[in-house]
Structure 1
Amino acid sequence: MMNTPAPGHVLRPAPTKTEWHNSRLGRYLSKIEERTDQHFDTYEDAWRWSTTDLQGFWESICDEFGVIAHTPHSAVLADPTMPGAQWFPGTTLNYAEHILRELSARPDRVMVLSRSQTTGNVEWTGARLIAEIGRIQSGLRRLGIGRGDRVVGYLPNVPEAVAAYLATSAVGAVWSGVPPEMGASAALQRISQLDPSLVISVDGYRWGDKNIGLEADLMEISAALPDSTMVLLPYLDADATIPDNFISYSEFTAEDGPVTTDPVPFGHPLVVLFSSGTTGRPKAIVHCHGGFLLEHYKMLGLHQDFTADDIAFYYTTTGWVVWNLMVSSLLLGTAIVLVDGDPAWPALDGPWSQWAIAAETGATFLGTGAAYLTRWAHSGLRPADQWDLPNLRLIMSSGSALAADASGWIYTAVNNDLLLLSSSGGTDVGTGFIGGCPLVAVYAGEMSCRPLGVDVDALDPHGVPVQGVPGELVVRQPMPSMPVFFWGDEDFARYRASYFDVYPNQWRHGDWLIHTERDTWVITGRSDATLNRGGVRLGTAEFYAVLDSEPDITDSIVLHFEDEAGMGALVLAVELAATSAVEPEQVHHEVRRTLRTRLSPRHAPDHVVIVPSIPRNRTGKRLELPLKRIVKGESISDALDLGVVVSPEHVSETASLIRRALNGAPTGA
């Protein structure tokens, strides 16, 4: 049984001001104090300075990390208007050049540690990665690919994907990663928007004990992209036959060549990331060289305290923004761990567990999803007892809110002295809006601080900041890593509709959050999924924080169906644990009693429905709104892209069971 700390309980105290020098962030702020008339008694003082003097702050980041500018800038922020803020006009630089600088300084150090269920262990030194980048660049040159051309990697999380991303960005071309677990239809929804010059793919991959071949998907993709050069990397089968309309990766990379970098304007496109696409055509979000460079230096170098002595293990796929953060760890000389495979095979605590890999690789940092941490916490797993993790000093949780019990478990079952960075951000900005840092306390169930340079707040419907009650997450001033545009959205219409349709000149992200009296933050759910029960707003995260700790419930999702009276019907769908001994007829009573007791009578659902699985996307987010639309009668194909759903085969049955409950039919609960 877990000893669950109360929300707001201190899990790790803040360092004293005299201890700030133990982190790069503390040393950086001391330098700012020496150079200016600023004085920071607390981290919040430093955050306030960084958002009051945006230009001075971002210029100091360039100085702190030695940003290589080939031409000078005429201003830091020439135009603060959102969207379309103009950062560092006049300057030219290259994102990849800064990583190559670190690799060149460490030619013999292992910088990429790859663990794959398909190919086993592969490790590349700095020199080996540079050589692969050079060979890929030679292939790009032969194809005439350069500044502005698009290159897509339909690739798993393997070293070749890292090399291709860096080679592409070095020549000024634009990279986009699409993981191969997306089938052809979902992949083409993304790839076809870009009209790529080149697509690099694998023949298949292994997931646990299953071989997943991609031959049919690749034929469909290549047929839909007749003007794209297709390169095939044999991965599942080293002797795979190369189709006639493909060239082999070995042929593409046959020639050694020098690694060169093309200095591009600050806002030149670096990478296209795609939104989840759960409710429509995925947004093709374009991020730039300068924005990712500065933001990732700040986030990784200051907030995550990465150094050249670190080994960073992010559990991610190539299509998630976390993958780009992982690659950016190389900016600090930090080695990276790549994993491709099922982390629960053959068991939750088996050799492919994230904890086992962290121990085997000597990782100092683990970046993982809150859903994984919650699952481990409720399973009774104690990593400190099972694996040797002396180097692990940082854990980052992302993807969804991390409840108090799971955050407390980290400090009792893993290490009571590590730094937990519970964060919330997005593909949209390539970083976090809320997170942690070495200079503040860690509280159970709360996110520790606003990152430097991120002017985030919680607003009421009238645009007034609120504290202690839920408000809309907004960013009041521009960030360098905000998208430069959406691909194909020349007039910014979709961009404006996505973020600027509620609060003029302020970015509204769509999350509902609470700013606490401790200057910490709690995400309570998507604002468009927030439940309005008789005029009282209920955040979905409140339900999940309670239900995730119930041993008989594996997963859950809460939906509210409105009516004219204002109360509507509150439906809770639950997936029972395989080991659960509870009788189905007891579930409704027990869940209602638990929520009424631990939250309030308004939280007690009208219907509790047992379903085969809860729909989530591949980053772990519950798909509340698409499921609600399907229950209300919208077709699955219109409401949801099944290609991004973890268990697509159960969506129809889950929706049908909820619909039956709303119509008064028995559902087994």
Structure 2
Amino acid sequence: MAKKIPLWEPSEERKQSANITRFMERVNRRHGKSFGTYWDLYDWSVESIPEFWSAVWDFVEIKASVPYDTVVDDLNRFPGARWFPGARLNFAENLLRYRDDRIAFKFIGETQHEKTMTYAELYATVARLAESLRELGVEPGDRVVGYMPNLMETAIAMLAATSIGAVWSSCATDIGAQAALDRLGQVEPKVLFTVDGYFYKGKVFHSYANAVEVARAIPSLKKVVVVSYAGTRPDLSAIPNAVRYEDFLSPEKGLELSFEQLPFDHPVFIMFSSGTTGKPKCMVQGAGGILINQLKELIIHSDLKREDTILYITTCSWMMWNWLISSLGAGATVVLYDGNPMYPDPAAMWKLAQDHSITVFGLSASYVYALRAQGLSPGKQYDLSALKQISQTGSPLSAEGFEYVYSDIKKDLHFNSISGGTDLNGCFAIGSPILPVYAGELQSPGLGMKVKAYDENGKHVWDQQAELVCEAPAPPMPLYFWNDPDGTKYREAYFDVYPGVWRHGDYIVMHSDTRGITFYGRSDAVLKPSGVRIGTAEIYNQVEKLPEIADSLAIGQNRQGDQRIVLFVKLNEGYRLDDALKQKIRQTLKEKASPRHVPAVIMEMPDAPYTFNMKKVESAVTNILHGRPVTNRDALMNPEVLDYFERIKPELEK
């Protein structure tokens, strides 16, 4: 095998100034070690797990009113290990540790509308909103949710809610009312924050009607708080107990925040699975686990410092929004961008990066491919001298995508490709500012994450496609699923294939020469066009309402460095799949779900594969379309239908 040549290697100066180097030196002093490389540190972090997480706690300076009794009660209980029992802390307090005149938030809308807020102003505003929530009767454990764009008010609402110990959940306004209700309605929130509309591609989308539909369908709501962003100031009488944000915000000035001191594993976020087999699962995540892991990833892996300005192209439906907001814990300036990143032209975000001296820029693989397809060279058009890191996630990026970043954006930067999941609001694989970058490879497993690649026999393998697993507990793993009292859904989601080992559902290759990781997409039925997680059930729920459609099957096909949705439909008698029906299907999904749910290809099928207990099997067809073996034919009630998908595979490869 020819020796790989790195695309980038950090300078000695960069290594010496990196936060991870300071962390390693502290570990060496505390534990009498002499670690000099990332891999020394990584191997120790997964062999001495309690000592590692204790070192992270101290390094990122977790604020706790009561110290922990022990780091973890039992590492052999997986799932079920309890982290930092005895500790009392507050999630929001750790993100609001700074109260000075440095800029905390810059909001930049697609309309070029800009606002800034200092750390002092942020603290004061969160205190006012928290006071209003307390007066309403919001208590620890209550749910507060957002159906919002990526606004300052969205982040302020999350911080205010979690300062009280309420549990936050959110989804963006670009998903339809039913999809939002399938998520937010399940958790029975007490308060909903929403908005009158949003901007996308230069157009105003009046989303208030969707908000009305969602709010009316959730009987647990005591208050609906409406932010005016699109400037329409709609009539609020259509929603019971609705109030404008500015009227809800307490008028009192100079309030001190009273941060509820709660156990390390007190819930902080409810994130949603993709809804592959019905309504999305609600993953309940603990305040301390999310906090310590996100600060580890931001401060140690991403080298985030007080003087940095960080931007991620994200919405509040995606875990990267939660991850981005935790940058407040490092005291950095957080840029909140809302809108289409390609508007008014494909170079728009790079002008923004230049004008606002962005140092850490987060983007998706699909965005990189779009830039490359446009033939853009942002590094030649704009002054990107401040940019020290690009963070990339969402879906796997090809080696050519990596090369494009270095040839056309900037030669000397840390390209930090990361991957993990909504499940843990963090990363299994991530970069390190002291390691080289190789084309198509994430640099390393995350510190403290005992990641392996398992074959079908549950054996760790190098240099071949296999399942990503994690062999040991880690603090950010979900506490439990909502409405799953005995933990059955939780165990089925992660532990049924390899008992006692977390199976994540990604195909990867772990490279023996570099120890880097290449991702090959999902091994389950989750669709990820442009990096956005979509459940197949969300598509079926709309398509199968049409009188023409008897059944449907949605598959994510990896193609040209991204993923596209291929929809197969079985027609009722008397109908044919002509252009008019295809357009009707697309329009239905666009209006009832979202534009991201619209398939790239629609084809007719004789039948969908089913198990004997009548579960639709997307994975078998996904494997066929990607040239992988189908290993569960015996579990199918009608395995003969797979012959059709094998026949049409060449047509879909064109």
**Given the two structures, how large is their TM-score scaled by the length of structure 2?**
0.82
Alpha carbons 2:110, 2:343 under 8 Å: kept: no
Given the superposition, is the C-alpha separation of residues 457 and 269 from structure 1 closer, same or farther in structure 2, using an over 3 Å criterion?
same
Paired residue secondary structure (1:79) = coil
Aligned equivalents of 1:144, 1:664: Cα separation in 2 = 57
The answer as to whether partners of 2:507 and 2:523 remain within 8 angstroms in 1 is: yes
Cα drift, residue 280 of structure 1: 2.8
* 1:523 to 1:249, Cα distance in 2 relative to 1, 3 A: same
| Equivalent residues of 1:111, 1:336 under 8 A apart | yes
Question: 1:630 Cα deviation (Å)?
Answer: 4.7
1:194 is the counterpart of 2:187: yes
Deviations 1:496-550 (A, max 9, x none): 11100111110000111111121111112222479xxxxxxxxx99xx9xxx9xx
Distance, in Å, in 2 between the alignment partners of 1:220 and 1:614 is: 30
54, 58, 64: which is aligned to 1:69? 64
Residue 422 to residue 119, structure 1, CA distance change in 2 (3 Å): closer
Determine if the alignment matches structure 1 residue 622 to structure 2 residue 618.
no
* Number of aligned residue pairs: 573
Cα distance between partner residues in 1 of 2:490 and 2:388: 38
Percent of aligned pairs sharing the same letter: 34
Contact persistence 1:172–1:264 (CA under 8 A) = yes
Counterpart in the other structure of 1:324: 322
| Amino acid in the other structure paired with 1:426 | G
- Structure 1 counterpart of 2:405: 410
* Aligned twin of 1:339: 337
Q: Kindly tell me: are residues 347 and 78 of structure 1, through their superposed partners in 2, closer, same or farther at Cα, counting changes over 3 Å?
A: same
Whether the 8 Å CA contact 1:158–1:340 is kept in 2: the answer is yes
Question: Residue 432 of structure 1: CA displacement?
Answer: 0.9
Q: 2:211 aligns with which of 213, 218, 231?
A: 218
- CA distance in 1: counterparts of 2:568 and 2:469, whole angstroms: 26
Cα deviation code 1:337-363 (max 9, x no counterpart) = 0111112223222xxx22222122111
Q: Report the CA distance between 1:651 and its aligned residue.
A: 6.0
Query: For structure 1, which runs of at least 5 residues remain unmatched after alignment?
Result: 1-5, 531-539, 549-612
CA distance in 2: counterparts of 1:528 and 1:182, whole angstroms: 23
Further displaced range: 324-333 or 269-278: 269-278
Q: Report the AA paired with residue 498 of structure 1.
A: A
Q: Write out aligned runs for 1:481-520 (5 A).
A: 481-517=476-512, 518-520=514-516
In 2, the alpha carbon distance for the partners of 1:490 and 1:480 equals 21
| Superimposed CA distance per residue, residues 621-665 of structure 1 (whole angstroms, 9 cap, x where no aligned partner) | 7366xx4665799x999xx99866534455674567998995799
The question of 1:253 aligning with 2:202 is answered: no
CA contact (8 A) 1:119 1:235 kept: no
Contact 1:73 1:88 (8 Å CA) reproduced: yes
1:630-645 to structure 2, matched below 5 A, reads: 630=569, 645=594
Contact 1:133 1:163 in 2 (8 A): yes
Q: Take 1:433 and 1:367, find their aligned partners in 2: how far apart are those partners?
A: 17
- What displacement does 1:7 show? 11
- Please state whether the residue corresponding to 1:270 is helix, strand or coil: strand
Distance 2:228 2:206 in 1: 11
- Identify the residue that residue 230 of structure 2 maps to in structure 1: 236
**Are the equivalent residues in 1 in contact too, given 2:147–2:171 (CA < 8 A)?**
yes
Deviates most, 117-126 or 521-530: 521-530
Aligned mates of 2:415, 2:280 — CA distance in 1: 31
| 3-state SS of 2:431 partner | coil
Q: CA deviation at 1:242?
A: 2.4
Distance 1:19 1:359 in 2: 22
Q: Distance in 2 between matches of 1:100 and 1:648?
A: 37
**Counterparts of 2:520 and 2:601 in 1: how far apart (Å)?**
27
SS in 2 for 1:512: strand
Q: Measure, in 1, the Cα distance between the counterparts of 2:165 and 2:327.
A: 20
Mean CA deviation greater in 84-93 or 247-256: 247-256
3-state SS of paired residue (2:233): coil
Q: CA deviation at 1:66?
A: 1.8
SS of residue in 1 equivalent to 2:64:
coil
Amino acid in the other structure paired with 1:396: S
Is this contact kept in 2: 1:148–1:174, CA < 8 A?
yes
Contact 2:419 2:428 (8 Å CA) reproduced: yes
1:622 counterpart letter in structure 2? Q
Q: Match of 1:558? A: none
* Secondary structure of 1:186 counterpart: helix
- Structure 1 residues 664 and 342: CA distance shift in structure 2, 3 A: closer
Counterparts of residues 67-466 of structure 1 (less than 5 Å)? 67-80=62-75, 81-102=77-98, 104=99, 107-117=100-110, 120-228=113-221, 229-237=223-231, 239-243=233-237, 245=240, 246-256=242-252, 257-349=255-347, 353-466=348-461
* 1:271 positional shift: 0.8
Residues 1:149 and 1:191: Cα distance change in structure 2 (over 3 Å): same
CA distance in structure 2 between the partners assigned to 1:444 and 1:148 by the alignment: 45
TM-superposition CA deviations, 1:384-439 (whole Å, max 9, x none): 11111111000011011111111111111111110001111100011111111011
Structure 1 654/334 Cα, relative in aligned 2: closer, same or farther at 3 Å? farther
Amino acid at match of 1:306: L
Q: When the two structures are superposed, what TM-score results if normalisation uses the length of structure 1?
A: 0.80
Q: Which residue of 2 aligns with 1:571?
A: none
Q: Which amino acid aligns with 1:225?
A: I
Of the structure 1 ranges 7-16 and 375-384, higher mean CA displacement relative to structure 2 is found in: 7-16
Say if 1:240 and 1:616 are closer, same or farther in 2 by CA, change over 3 A. Answer: farther
Q: CA deviation at 1:232?
A: 1.1
Q: Does 492-501 or 222-231 show the bigger shift?
A: 222-231
Deviation at 1:42, TM superposition (A): 2.4
After superposition, the Cα gap between the structure-2 partners of 1:519 and 1:494, relative to the gap in structure 1 and judged at 3 Å, is: same
Matches of 1:314 and 1:460, distance apart in 2: 34
Residues 1:232 and 1:655: Cα distance change in structure 2 (over 3 Å):
farther
- The answer as to whether partners of 1:614 and 1:622 remain within 8 angstroms in 2 is no
Q: Given the superposition, is the C-alpha separation of residues 15 and 40 from structure 1 closer, same or farther in structure 2, using an over 3 Å criterion?
A: farther
Q: Structure 1 residues 492, 644: CA separation in 2 closer, same or farther (over 3 Å shift)?
A: farther
Match of 2:619 in 1: none
CA offset digits 1:150-194 (Å, max 9, x no partner): 000111100011111111111100001111111110000001111
Q: 1:570: which partner in 2?
A: none
1:56 equivalent in structure 2: 51
Tell me the alpha carbon deviations over residues 549-597 of structure 1, each in whole angstroms, 9 at most, x when there is no partner.
Answer: xxxxxxxxxxxxxxxxxxxxxxxxxxxxxxxxxxxxxxxxxxxxxxxxx
The reply to whether residue 24 of structure 1 matches residue 15 of structure 2 is no
Instruction: Give the Cα separation in 2 of the matches to 1:665 and 1:497.
Output: 34
| Deviation digits for residues 10-58 of structure 1 (CA, Å, limit 9, x no counterpart) | 1012556x86322010111012112213222421111010011110000
**Whole-angstrom CA distance in 1 between matches of 2:522 and 2:446:** 21
Q: Does 1:40 align with 2:21?
A: no
Aligned mates of 2:605, 2:594 — CA distance in 1:
17
Structure 2, unmatched stretches of 5+, are 531-553, 573-581, 607-624, 626-643
User: Partner letter of residue 389 of structure 1?
Assistant: L
Equivalent residue, structure 2, for 1:606: none
The letter for the 2-side match of 1:403 is S
Any conservation in 2 of the 1:156–1:179 contact (CA below 8 Å)?
yes
The residue that corresponds to 1:646 in the other structure is 595
CA distance in 1, matches of 2:149, 2:87: 34
The answer to whether the 8 Å contact 2:590/2:597 transfers is: no
Contact 2:440-2:518 within 8 A present in 1 as well: yes
Q: Whole-Å Cα distance in 2 between the matches of residues 43 and 345 of structure 1? A: 40
- Asked whether the equivalents of residues 362 and 389 of structure 1 are also in contact (C-alpha less than 8 Å), the reply is yes
Q: Is the 8 A contact 2:111 2:202 kept in 1?
A: no
Q: Match for residue 573 of structure 1?
A: none
| In 2: Cα distance, 1:435 partner to 1:631 partner | 41
